[in-house]
Amino acid sequence: MNLEVLIEGWFFKVVLTVLVSFIGVFLGLLYKGFDRKITAMMQSRIGPPWIQPFRDVKKLFMKETIIPDTAIPWLFNAAPIVALVAPLIALAYLPLGPFGPIMEGYGGLILLLYLLAIPAVAMAFGGLASGSPYATVGSQRELVLMMSYELPLAITAVALAFNYETFSIATISSEPVWNSVGMMGGIGFALILAALFAVMPGELSKVPFDQAEAETELAGGLFVEYSGRNLGIFYIAEVVKMVVVGAFLIALFFPYNLSSLYSFGGPEINGMMLWNVIVDTAFFLFKLLIIIYVAVSVIRVGFARFQINKASYFYWVPMTIISLLGMLLVVVGGAA
């Protein structure tokens, strides 16, 4: 391949990744506002306006960034950046609506699982680097929780790889899993999906799996010493990760587009009908909102915070058993 063509190709991918990153941040803050507003309505409260997360970030970036005397400065400042960069990179490996992954062919399901784990590790190291006893306890809880919910995620990856004989997200999302297996396999993937819906609030450190922050117990936990720009970056990392996890579930289990049922026409751009792209993008955003509502908002309203030992047990035992049973059904059920 010509070196100039290769450089131009990578330059185009980098530009698209930066563009998608800005879109991911915007969508994350927007859905964070919807989540807070919907949660308030479910609790018979007025709640903040949906643009409140944008105001929160603006306010945090205007405030002074304080570094504790007990902190390890370079690690304390690096942790928020690492926590944000990982989910932003993950967006480039996911199909978003009618658009395929930007980095298709350069990574797969295993890489994505590693990228999803990095923010939790970065938050834990940031809390440990602050030198606060509250943050230290919060960091320990975050690592315990991460090690607990990673097993159901790993089992999901194995089941999908066995069924499709690949770890490529683009290949897996090209056909809904429900069309690639028989009835028994479909039941297996339904069990795996249920386990992933339970994993999502833990992955995002939302109630009832927010033991690492636990304001009433740890005064903010691993974020207790963070302020200003650093806390704002952590805030953005959280909302971007919410978009990534939601898009991940859509890519694996709900990669449907309305244009596959009915063509909406419009001018053709790079082989894609304009109105098809607009409708499919809107449908993707709607699916993302529904997933966040079911897996985050409803769970947060319906359950109180678990104790850390019970949260860990929940993922290690019931969710792992459900995931293993689902994988067994997928393996035994075979193809459709």
Give one DSSP letter per residue of 103-161, joined into a string: TTTS--HHHHHHHHHHHHHHHHHHHHHHT-HHHHHHHHHHHHHHHHHHHHHHHHHHHHH
Higher pLDDT, 81 or 11: 81
Average pLDDT score over the chain: 87
List beta partners, residue 272.
269
Higher pLDDT, 29 or 270: 29
Span of 84-88, 199-203, 256-260 with lowest mean pLDDT: 256-260
pLDDT reported for residue 205: 84
Task: With CA atoms as reference, report the closest residue to 37 among 333, 317, 325, 301.
Answer: 301
The pLDDT of residue 265 is above 90: no
Domain count, the chain: 1
Q: How confident is the model at residue 334 (pLDDT cuts 50, 70, 90)?
A: low
pLDDT reported for residue 219: 63
Residue type, 21: S
Q: Which single residue is written with the structure tokens 């075979």?
A: 334
pLDDT reported for residue 274: 74
Q: How confident is the model at residue 189 (pLDDT cuts 50, 70, 90)?
A: very high
pLDDT reported for residue 51: 93
* Measured CA angle at 86 (ends 286, 1), to 5 deg: 95
Domain with 240, as residue range(s), is 3-333
